[in-house]
Each structure stands twice: as structure tokens, then as C-alpha cells.
Amino acid sequence: MAGAGLALSPVAGHARAQPPAETGVPFGSAIQAEYIESDPAYRQAFLDYCDLIMPMNELKFGQIRPTRETWNFEPADKLVDFALSHGRKSRGTCHVWWNSTPDWVEALETPAEAEKALVEHIERVTDRYRGRLQSWDVVNEVVANDPIYDGRSLRDTVWLRKLGPRHIPIAFEATARADPAARLVINDYNLEFAGAEYDARRRVMLGIVQQLHDRNIRVDTVGIQGHLYTDHTIDTEALLTFQAELRKLGVGLMVTELDVIDWQKPADAEAQDARAEAILSDFLDAILADGPPEAVIAWGMTDRYSWIPDVLPRPDGATMRPLPLDREMREKSWMALLRKRLRTA
């Protein structure tokens, strides 16, 4: 097991073999296997803009091991190869996630069986990509959605029910064993907004990181997903305090799933983009004020493909504009802002 001392070591792997742009903070995006061959413009967008290209879904537990007998590495291999063969970095998401636990895991009966399955999965998957993924989201979305309303700190998940909170240190230790050089990330959403619910989420996240640190279990980075709701407000002060607390523990910050949730009025594209730019600008002010994050990663490149219209559709049915390029691959003004801010950070 790696000790807490490692958490203080410098961020590795930020030099690019083939930089597409001169940036201070690496910019990346998540890519989807289903479009990479069928849509050449989609594929090209990643090469035009990204320092880092990571599989969006293909490394999730349920995709990699849908049944106990089946290991399905091919889609993830293809995407990681795509990134590395073009001189880009890549990273992995995610080992523990409530929304990717296959039926066979849910059916496991004893804590010992669950622990064995979790450790075996993490060791095998992490080892396969050792040296090729610069970091892993070891646990994703373990903080309760609304700790106040839900009356709990941790989300109720299959892993929590089977193993209790110790599934978190188990997962970190297994990942560290299998790839000691990979940065270990705890990833979550709704960590950037103003409001009691978000204060509570930040508190829980800091509490988990502190407990891992106190037990000498390495956690290197907090991933803020950065799904930015245009009708929410960024809490700059709270984010600065949050980052200062992490810094005390030797833990860094990364933005892992940036996109814009524009589900409220206005409906015209220009006004939507102006609101997107405003909230992104506030977010970057708060994140960059504390020194450069390890990376900023968008959750896709183009409005052609995004989870947002499926999961959080606009009530007025207007076209949503969540990502840096529009459906015709035209760059939005907020992508230009992002590039400029990251380059000079």
C-alpha cells in the first residue's frame, strides 16, 4: 500500500508529446466508442482540441464486466490506444460507481464475496492499463445527493450496503497496489454551487478525504465534475476554502466532467451561450485563483452527443447547448474563453 507521503509528490505526466495548443493547464475530453468510427468530424474534434482523451463509459465496472464470466476490454482498449497513439494522455473512470454495478455484483451474498469481487476487478483492470492511464477515478459519486435532505453523508449504494464505508479505502488501496504511479481521484458533482445543500456536500467530501489521509491511505486528487447549471451560482469563497483545505492535506484538484446544463430560459442560442460563458467564467475564477488544477476535462466535445438532453431535457423543447462545440462543430465563445484561461493559468 502506498503511504500518505506519496500524496505530496508532484503531479506527474503533464508534459505532452504532441501539444495541439500551448496550454498551462491540460485540457481534455471524454470520448465515446460508439461514434469514433462512424463520425470522422467527431473524432477529429478531439485531436484538434485535446491534450487528454479519456473513455467516457467504457471503463466503468458494468461495461468492463457485465457478467461474472465476461470481461469486455475491447471498447476501452480502442479509445485508450486512440489517445496514446496520437500522443495524448488518458485517464480512467471509474471503479466504484452506484450507476454501474451489474446484476451479478448485486446478487453477491456475503461481505467477503463482495470484497473479493471488488478487489479482483480493480486489480485486474488497473493492472491492464498500468502506465497508460495517468489517473483513475477510484470512487465516483459516493457523497449523498443531498446530505441534509437525505439525512446521510454517503449515498446508499450496492457497495455501501454490502461492505459499509470501508469499500472506499478498499478501493483506493487496491488501485494503488495495481498502479502505484497513477494519481488516485475521488470524483463527485455539485461541489461548486452556493447553498446549504452544496456546503454539506463539500463538508462530506472533505471528511472522506481527511479520513483516508488520517489512515495513511493515499488519495491524490478531488475531481469536481463541473456539470454547471446555468441557473445556479458559483460559490467562489466556499471553493477557495475547499481548495485550501485540500492543499493542507496535499490533495490536488481536477475538473473531470465539464459541461453546461442550460435547461431554463432563454431558448435562443446566443443568450444560452452567454449564460454558459458567465457561469464558466465564475467557475474558472474560483478554480484558477488557487493555482492551476491538474486538468480540465469536458464531458464530450460537441452538442451532437451529450447525456444532458436525455436526462435533463428542457421543458420548452429548445435545443440544448451543453458542450464546447455546437452540433455543426463550430466553436462556441466559451470554448475560446476556456482555452485562453487555461493557457495563461
Query: Where do contacts with ligand 9MR occur on this chain (CB under 6 A)?
Result: 56-57, 60, 99-100, 140, 189, 225, 257, 307, 311
Cα–Cα nearest to 323, from 302, 297, 295:
302
Grid cell in block for residue 255:
475538473
Residue among 23 and 140 whose Cβ is closer to ligand 9MR: 140
Nearest distance from C-beta of residue 224 to ligand 9MR, angstroms: 11
Nearest distance from C-beta of residue 274 to ligand 9MR, angstroms: 24
How far apart CA 122 and CA 139 sit, in angstroms, is 11
Chain residue at closest Cβ approach to ligand 9MR: 307
Residue among 15 and 311 whose Cβ is closer to ligand 9MR: 311
Residue among 115 and 188 whose Cβ is closer to ligand 9MR: 188
Nearest distance from C-beta of residue 63 to ligand 9MR, angstroms: 8
Query: Phi first, then psi: what are they for 288, rounded to 5°?
Result: -80, -20
Question: ∠ at Cα 75 (185, 175), nearest 5°?
Answer: 25
Kindly tell me the burial class for residue 6, based on how many C-beta atoms sit within 10 Å of its own C-beta (0-12, 13-18, 19 or more): middle
Count of Cβ atoms closer than 10 Å to residue 163 Cβ? 19
Residue among 23 and 263 whose Cβ is closer to ligand 9MR: 263
Nearest distance from C-beta of residue 333 to ligand 9MR, angstroms: 24
Nearest distance from C-beta of residue 312 to ligand 9MR, angstroms: 9
Nearest distance from C-beta of residue 306 to ligand 9MR, angstroms: 7
Residues 6+ apart with CB under 8 A from 16: 26, 51, 87, 88, 89
Residue among 187 and 272 whose Cβ is closer to ligand 9MR: 187
- Overall residue count recorded for the chain in this entry: 345
Residue among 50 and 56 whose Cβ is closer to ligand 9MR: 56
Kindly tell me the burial class for residue 324, based on how many C-beta atoms sit within 10 Å of its own C-beta (0-12, 13-18, 19 or more): buried
